[in-house]
Structure 1
Amino acid sequence: MPGANLTRTEAEERAGIVSNPKYTVSLDLTRGPRTFLSEAVISFDAARRGASTYLDLIASRVESVELNGVELDPAEVYRDSRIELKKLKAHNEVRVKAVCDYSRTGEGLHRSVDPSDGRVYLYTQFEVPDARRMYAVFDQPDLKASFDFSVVAPESWIVLANMPAQSTEAVDQRTEPGTLEQAPAEGCKRWVFQTTPTMSSYLTAICAGPYAQWTTEYANEDGRTVPMGLYCRQALKSALEKDVDYLFDITQKGFAFYAKTWGVPYPYAKYDQIFVPEYNAGAMENIGLVTFRDQYIFESKATGAKVNRRVETILHELAHMWFGDLVTMKWWNDLWLNESFAEFMSTLCTAEATEWSDDWATFCSGEKSWALTEDQLPTTHPIVAPINDLHDTEVNFDGITYAKGASVLKQLVAYVGRERFFQGIHNYLDKHAYSNATLADLLTELEATSGRDLKSWSAQWLEQSGINTLTSNVETDAEGRIAAMTIGQTAPEESPVLRPHRLAIGFYSKTAEGKVERTDRFEVDIDGASTTIDEVAGKVRPDFILINDDDLTYAKLRLDADSLDFARANLPAFEDRLARAVVLLSFWDMTRDGEYPAEDFVDLVLKTLATEHQSTTFRYALGQLSTTAHSYSAPARRPELLEHVAQGLWQLALAAEPGSDEQLQLTQAYLGYGDDQEFEDHARALLAGSSELKGLEVDNNMRWAVVHALAAQNMASDADIQNELDQRDTTENREFAMGARAVRPTRAAKAWAWDQALHNADLTNAQIEAAADGFSGSGDEDLFAPYVDKFFKAVDWVWAHKTFHIAETLLNPLSAGGLYPYKADPAALVRAGEHWLTDHEDAPKALRGMIIQNVEASRRVLRVRTYNQHVSK
């Protein structure tokens, strides 16, 4: 894998030598479609004279290196993405001039050409180690510095950086003929930006291109006026324009909520949000210049779940301006300090400061279910993860770091009290502003305000992996009163940690009108293997007892038998959306653990979907339904079950309110089956505008969903797909077309998709992902049988020749998609995977982790299928 892999030990050694770095970085973006010129001047102090260190840089050519006025030979000092610096003085200045490559993988300085109009767009993505792809740098978070950026670009472009522009001037500079695809004869301009505050290199950012722009401002709590901007490609201008006022309003609500909650006003000079193409992540918290994937601009109708997620993402990145940017982790083992906190705070802010007041139900259905999945894998890790090098960091952007950490922070707030928690956060931000901090620094402040000893709490919750299971046991006397109630706690053998939990117990009963409502609530502390709940003794037993009401703690739940039976019969009648989400997640967890029959779960979900209106709960229930029916059900009964699900979804779509969110989601889900005799008729009627689904808008994305679904059933040819693309050739539609071609369940289509994903160097990162996901998205065991061995033979080559993100896309841990042929015989996949792991005991931890996760997913499929084969229908 290209680029030196910085270890934690190396970073500590370099931080012991280098201090007070400052950067002046000049970029020339007018040299053509493949490369740009980067010049960096770095001044820094050295801990001792004569010491040696190195800069990080990934460049196609280093033209010159000058250290303290002495020219160095690039051929001698530049190797393995490092520039060696020897015989340092007390104060040093190094100048590096290099030719760097534009990225097509979303890492470094990415260059995208919009096929709809030929316009060129650039943006950066530097987390974890990719500032070095744009300029020479000490690329580690604890070597914070100030940065002066200047950029030469076509004069018609907008150029943005972390700080406002200080000046612009025309440049008498013409590129070689034809190198500017957009306007070869166009003049150029230099943008010079204000000096940044002290910050980490991975948070620097440059965006450039003919972006559409909207501006406003915010009256900051410290008396300053903060300029705000929104930006996107010109092709998406009309779509974003409809949402500009709403997105500014959401952002400003976040400014006010965070400033009030923490008592620290927004600290930076401006706040721009830019939507960019072919983006790998959801968004990135670059100081003053947040980048978002432009799938968050909705040209077609979006589900409520997606709109809700966009709000959460906006508020997540805004929270980072304080937690992660103003105060930054010292090393990547404390990445959770950034991500868990931003995830927790964005959910809290969304629920309390926006119209999405049920966002904790969204969190439970989406983020928490993600955490539960990853926390039960062999690759689970403590929230404070052991990070030995950059590759360890890259695979740490997972459900543990984000979702489990956020859930545990919710538990911590319940444990210490909200007011005391946020007073501690204020003190932490105030004390460590513009510097780096550790978990110990955070705990010090929280202990001071809460009066609790959090070292033991941290050792159990943050520094140990694994998830506890809480089991409710209820005894009732002859009069229907609770004689005794206990909550049992267990832990997995590989992580036998029993934790303290502050949780709520909810009593629920059915009303005369048929609704299930909460009638009482008790907050209790539990610890150890069994806790007696004295608070409920002697009370009349309700219809249903929820042992983690309001979802305050992080654990797997096993309800008592009577409550389980009641929920199975009455879940749709629960009035509280969060309670429904908690209970449904418990049923799903039992299903994927092989403790609840797949067909019973299918029927429960179909019944629940008939009345569910919480969009994210709806979305995840549909996903869990698909996994259960396609992967976990008994093979002998699967065809009948899939037909039952398909017909059930279609009937629910017909019954849904015309034009509703539920109708849209149900139709999208139905298209993922193709297992009923009417499927082709329904699909073609959607394309023709003659569907019996009244009120459903068949817009661009829905048309492509139908084309993809037809292709997955071998009902759409390459010519059909090309004809659809020819009607509107855009960045997004090229990705849709790639996926549709790859998803066709034929040997030729799979061979083509495999080759494209691995070997077509002209594809963008997003097109590679579409090809890989289409490859694995349809077909039976026989079709994928040849790819079991092919996959494991390709693993080493992918790791050696692709960037980390592309390798992760292709090898694809955890979920359906990528080139892992998860539809093949799971037993064959487990055998081949175990053989690879035995032969690769010394492979990088990150690579082994991907393979372990794939193998464990197949092993779970085997285990749950076996359970369901022995469950009577």
Structure 2
Amino acid sequence: MPGDNLTRIEAQERKAIVDVSSYDVALDLTTGEETFRSSTVVTFSATPGASTFIDAFTRTVHSITLNGESVDTSAADGVRIQLDGLAAENVLEVVADAEYTNSGEGLHRFVDPVDGEVYLYSQFEVPDSRRVFAVFEQPDLKATFTFTVTAPEHWVVVSNSPTPEPENAGEAKRVWRFAPTQRMSSYITAIVAGPYDSVHSELTSSDGRTIPLAVYSRRSLTEYLDSDYIFDVTRKGFEYYEEKFDFPYPFEKYDQLFVPEFNAGAMENAGAVTFTETYVFRSKVTDAVRERRVVTILHELAHMWFGDLVTMKWWNDLWLNESFAEWASTISTAEATEWTEAWTTFQAMEKSWAYRQDQLPSTHPVVATINDLEDVQVNFDGITYAKGGSVLKQLVAWVGRDAFFAGVAAYFRKHAFGNTELSDLLAELETTSGRDLSDWSAKWLETAGVNTLRPRIETDATGTITSFAIEQTAHVDYPTIRPHRLGVGFYELNDGRLERVHRVEVDVDGESTSIPELVGLNRPALVLINDDDLAYAKIRLDEVSQATALEHLGRISDPLARALVWGSAWDATRDAETPASDYVRLVLSNIASETESTTIRTTLGQLTAVARSYVAPEKKAATIELVGTELWKLAQEAEAGSDAQFQFVKFFASIASTQEHARTLRELLDGTITLDGLTIDTDLGWELLEGLVLNGEATEAEIDAALAKDNTANGQQAAARVRATFPDAQKKLAAFASVVDDDTAPNMIVRHTGLGFQHVNDASVLRPAIERYFSSVNTIWESRSYGIASSLIDGLYPAPLASQELVDATRAWLAANPEIPALRRLVIENLDGVERALRVQARDA
């Protein structure tokens, strides 16, 4: 990575010297295809005589003026500008050329292949507003921002403040002069520019203000934009949050912009939220994706209060920002929209992510140690989002829902437009709940690792329970035993359904907790600890319940209970406690009865991973074939037009492995065979073609022909993925070289190339990539931005090999490269996945 890191110590030292009042930023977006002119005027106070620096990623600095005096441009090194001899009150002016990116960081430039139009958007979290203007890049130096933007006359320009009427500037240009923003951190400022189409609406805030709403998309995607639905979800979110937070929406308008080649799901820029275009549905998508879009919309809206109105002082509290939005978006989705099973989705998706992340060697406390910006980048993980959200759910149960919302409301009122630490929120929750949260915080937020809970049940000859206890264990490296509030559910078969017949809610603490209220009851067919998913812990089933689940999981009536059992089976498989082949049988026997789209999607993804990486090597080919054959059978038997049918076809295409499978894909693609209710639209067509390529049953010419029909951004990304899927060692190396040796590929082409590179049934084709990978890693890290480098390091690691050879090569690289913690973390996490696969394979054998 370039020399662009910022340490927490540097930020603290700078904060002690500087207090920023305002930025006046003028951007000229008409100066060329590679760079734009950036002029910044910063007004700030400082300790007289002190020295510090301002961040500015620049190609060329034309002038620097401090308090009316010219500063030699040698004070700028392309990353920072040194500022010496500061006065009590200062005005700094910097005029420079800054660079557009194609990495999704800073000011991203995209050319639409459909019509040749240019679209720009900014992405500044964590440290990338400095790629666009000179800025004190840290969240606790808030200021007001005034943007003036010159752009082609047929464009629209959107920022945090309401869009003004542009002024003609001659030469087919116009100038947009935005009003100053409220005080905010630089990372939530935004510039989006280009010939975007828009749809407008409004709502009335709880304080009586009219809040303008707008939804934006590229012109070539406008026909697919369901803006009415997006506005409907947004209005429900506004009403829910304004009531629960007891604080009106804090900004002047609310724009939602769907932008191309976006790295994440969305970004909470104040009043100008950017979203990935995958949420503009040009083809059929699963209900899981449709629900995820709703959760994402409400996640970003929650950030307008938690994150934008009140912002963390430093990135060690990033977890709280994201975890709160994760929790708030799930509860609001469940209570304010039609997606009432949002907590089931949370269990199936977020918690699975959290448990996986929390068992990596890189696991960390929820409140992570963030020494510098590179630490922040790698800590955008399952602990930051999903474990934190799970822990907040526990905190709500611990302090009480009403007390929690009251404390949050008091927190917003006290700290509006300011910066805070975790202790500030806990102080308000202690006041509203009357509880001391210091011990809770120490055990849940300041320690790492996930506990495992197991029932220990003894019965007499009649099946009556004589002893019932819950045992808690922890990983030897993270030995904290934590308190849990959880439910225990008893389930019996009733008219072909497994239904709950008894439930108790108990406190569990220590290594063993007796549950005397269950003694004397008949042992049921299925015992489910953590019923209703109140606790954050892996759970295990006793032997009787395990046998019941294996045969009857699909008959459990409650979708959340089913998700918990699915999750328990997956965790036990990953931990090599149960054979991977049993998991395959469990899924294939029960998945047809599953009703929740995200549970289907998550479980089928885990099924294909088990077939390819977790079953014993001698069973692998037969298991892959079995899974493909059974998924196609399930697709044929599923309800016509159902989400399940759609998902079975998609996953069948991804794991097809025989000539018969390939023939089926070919006949689906050309229409020789059909399924009632299933349309082979553009995106599904690409997936069928990818399955053919995976089996060596399609050619480069077919990919070219498909791209000619779909020469869009989506089509180009799909083509890159499919080309990288060829089951040939030389073509895998060519795909590797296409994004490593050539640094012009944009972020989404890099990402999709990695997806295709790792898409294999016979992983031996990746063996030659081991040497290529480790000879490239350091150069990638040193020469690419974090967004691109991390995609390459994860996407091109030959993980599907799951071999001792790969383990040895990875350990050799780690031994030879003890520096750069952020890079090592990425490699260590990949290594852990391979070592886990080898353990699970050994158990299955």
TM interval, short-chain normalised: over 0.9
* Residue equivalent to 1:552: 534
**In structure 1, distance between residues paired with 2:452 and 2:248:** 40
Aligned residue for 1:397?
A: 380
Counterpart of 2:676? 694
Following superposition, the deviation at residue 781 of structure 1 comes to 4.0
Residue 123 (structure 1) aligned with residue 112 (structure 2): no
**SS of 2:394's equivalent?**
helix
2:806 to 825, 829, 833: 829
From the superposition, tell whether residues 510 and 270 of structure 1 become closer, same or farther in structure 2 (CA, over 3 Å): same
Alignment of 1:181-330 (within 5 A): 187-240=172-225, 243-330=226-313
Residue 453 of structure 1 deviates from its aligned partner by: 1.2
Partner of 1:45: 45
- Counterpart in 1 of 2:54? 55
- For 2:800, the aligned partner's letter is K
Are the aligned partners of 2:802 and 2:835 in contact in 1 as well (CA < 8 Å)?
A: no
Stretch of structure 1 that moved more, 17-26 or 298-307: 17-26
Q: Report how far residue 166 of structure 1 moved.
A: 4.0
Following the alignment from structure 1 to structure 2, what is the Cα–Cα distance between the partners of residues 419 and 754?
53
Q: Which residue in the other structure is 1:862 paired with? A: 838
Alignment of 1:309-708 (within 5 A): 309-511=292-494, 513-708=495-690
Cα 1:605–1:147, aligned 2, differ >3 Å: closer, same or farther? Answer: same
TM-score, structure 1 length as denominator?
A: 0.96
Is the deviation greater in 159-168 or in 571-580? 159-168
1:169-199 Cα deviation digits (max 9, x unpaired): 1113x3xxxxxxxxxxxx1111111110010
Q: Secondary structure at the match of 1:743?
A: coil
Q: Counterpart of 1:864 in structure 2: which amino acid?
A: V
Q: How does 1:806-825 map to 2 (within 5 A)?
A: 806-812=788-794, 818-825=795-802
In 2, the alpha carbon distance for the partners of 1:690 and 1:657 equals 20
**Aligned match of 1:778:** 760
Aligned AA (2:174): K
Contact in 2 for aligned 1:146/1:195 (Cα 8 Å): yes
Whether contact under 8 Å (2:411, 2:425) holds in the other structure is: yes
One-letter code aligned to 2:757: F
Summarize deviations over 1:370-400 as a string: whole Å, max 9, x none: 1111110100011111000000000111000
Counterpart of 2:70, as a letter, is E
Structural mapping, 1:680-759, within 5 Å: 680-759=662-741
Could you tell me how far apart the structure 1 residues matched to 2:486 and 2:647 are? 33
Query: Which segments of 5 or more consecutive residues in structure 1 lack a partner in the other structure?
Result: 175-186, 813-817
Contact 1:167-1:193 at 8 Å conserved across structures: no
Deviation of 1:564 (Å): 1.8
In 1, distance between residues paired with 2:300 and 2:529? 33
| CA-CA distance at 1:420 after TM superposition | 1.0
Paired letter, 1:819: L
Deviation per residue, 1:556-582 (Å, 9 max, x gap)? 111222222222221110010000001
Does the 8 Å contact 1:654/1:692 carry over to 2?
no
Cα distance in 1, alignment partners of residues 435 and 342 from structure 2: 29
SS in 1 for 2:655: coil
Q: 2:192 corresponds to which letter in structure 1?
A: C
Offset of residue 421 of structure 1 = 1.1
State which of 84, 87, 104 in structure 2 corresponds to 1:86.
84
- Work out the CA distance in 2 between the residues paired with 1:244 and 1:825: 45
1:100 aligned residue: 98
Indicate the residue corresponding to 1:19 in structure 2. Answer: 19
Greater displacement, 772-781 / 251-260: 772-781
8 Å CA contact retained: 1:58, 1:100: yes
Tell me how large the CA RMSD over aligned residues is.
Answer: 1.1
Task: Give distance in 2, aligned partners of 1:839 and 1:326.
Answer: 45
Which of 829, 832, 836 is the equivalent residue of 1:853? 829
CA shift digits 1:119-141 (9 cap, x unpaired): 11000000010000000000100
* SS at 2:145 equivalent: strand
- When normalised by structure 2's length, the TM-score is 0.99
> Matched residues in 2 for 1:855 and 1:700: separation?
36
The 3-state SS of whatever aligns with 1:23 is: strand
Give distance in 1, aligned partners of 2:461 and 2:528.
Answer: 22
The residue identity in structure 1 corresponding to 2:65 is E
In structure 1, give the amino acid aligned to 2:599. T
Name the CA distance, whole Å, in 2 between partners of 1:857 and 1:539: 42
Alignment CA distance shift 1:209-1:582 (3 Å): same
Q: Tell me if structure 2 keeps the 8 A contact 1:3–1:58.
A: no
Report the Cα distance in structure 2 between the residues aligned to 1:639 and 1:834, rounded to whole angstroms. Answer: 28
Verify the 8 A CA contact 1:788 1:824 in the aligned structure 2.
no
**What secondary structure, in the 3-state scheme, does the structure 2 residue paired with 1:122 have?**
strand
Q: CA deviation at 1:144?
A: 0.6
Letter in 2 for 1:365: A
SS at match of 2:453: strand
Residues 785 and 825 in structure 1, CA contact (< 8 A), matched pair in contact too: no
In structure 2, what is the Cα distance between the partners aligned to 1:276 and 1:517? Answer: 45
8 Å Cα contact 2:634/2:648 also seen in 1:
yes
Aligned partners of 2:611 and 2:104: how far apart in 1?
Answer: 35
Letter in 2 for 1:591: T
Alpha-carbon separation, structure 1, partners of 2:622 and 2:766: 22
- Give the Å deviation of 1:771: 1.7
Number of matched pairs: 845
The residue matched to 1:165 in structure 2 has which SS? coil
Secondary structure, counterpart of 2:799 in structure 1: coil
What do residues 479-499 of structure 1 show as CA deviations (whole Å, max 9, x unaligned)?
433222111111111111001
State the secondary structure of the residue aligned to 1:754.
Answer: helix
Q: Percent identity?
A: 50
- 8 Å Cα contact 2:658-2:695 kept in structure 1: no
- Cross-structure match for 1:184: none
Cα distance in 2, alignment partners of residues 4 and 735 from structure 1: 30
